[in-house]
A = this chain, B = another copy of it.
Amino acid sequence: MNSPDDLHQRPIVSVDLAIFALAPDGLEVLLAQRGAEPFAGSWALPGGWIHVDEDRDLEAAAQRVLRDKTGVAAPYFEQVGVFGDAARDPRGWSLSVTYMALIAKEAVTLMHGGNATGAAWHPIGSDTATIPLAFDHAAILKAAVTRLRNKVEYTTLPVHLLPEAFTLSELQAVYERLLGRLLDKSAFRKRIAEVDFIEPIAGEMRRASNRPAQLYRLKQARSTVFFDRTI
């Protein structure tokens, strides 16, 4: 008879994080080099066990792991899903509860100074890291990248990676770098106007380019607006 009182019948549960940032060449993910078996020396998504005496809930566990590994709290944090089977971890039947976060790279660079965990940013290829990953983390990362890109297609999420004032060209560039593909300029501007989540800042222009460009800001700070169709 299986029961929660038979502790050997309980699966192992970890909380793992796909922490994304935007680099000039595209999307990057924060990976940690494993110091112990299994998969010692391999790169993996940063993660940890649930501390049943300390963590209030799953999200608190994920925020604790993120804070421990990067020194920052995520402005945007979402559950990707749970991945569990008998074979993914040699230590036994295990579950990975995976969260993703999108953070500004500058917020994390500082902690890298004296960091001993071997954490580093790695580029995302078409949909996963360009190096082999421990466990089933390549498949989990692929699911997280898909989730992030769907979110980018359908929401105003990317605006949170920009400074407070930005041009429409800068906004389009962030969407393009996150999605890994170019967008049509007039169709993009039409969609942005339809969703109506940014507003021009009266009298503020960016003067760096060949002709001045209007600066915009978010209408409602911090909230993520959902579109009713893809960008």
Contacts and interface: CB of A to CB of B under 8 A. Distances in A.
Given A3-B49, A10-B13, A58 B84 contact: yes
Interface residues of A, number: 35
Interface string A1-20: 01110011111110000000
Contacts of A79: 81-82
Interface in A130-148: none
Contacts of A3: 49
A179 B48 CA distance: 39
A57 B81 contact: no
Interface of A: 2-4, 7-13, 48-52, 55-58, 79, 81-86, 91-95, 97, 228-230
Contact of A229 (B49, B82, B91, B229): B229
A194 B56 CA distance: 47
Contacts of A84: 50, 57-58, 97
Nearest to A55: B86
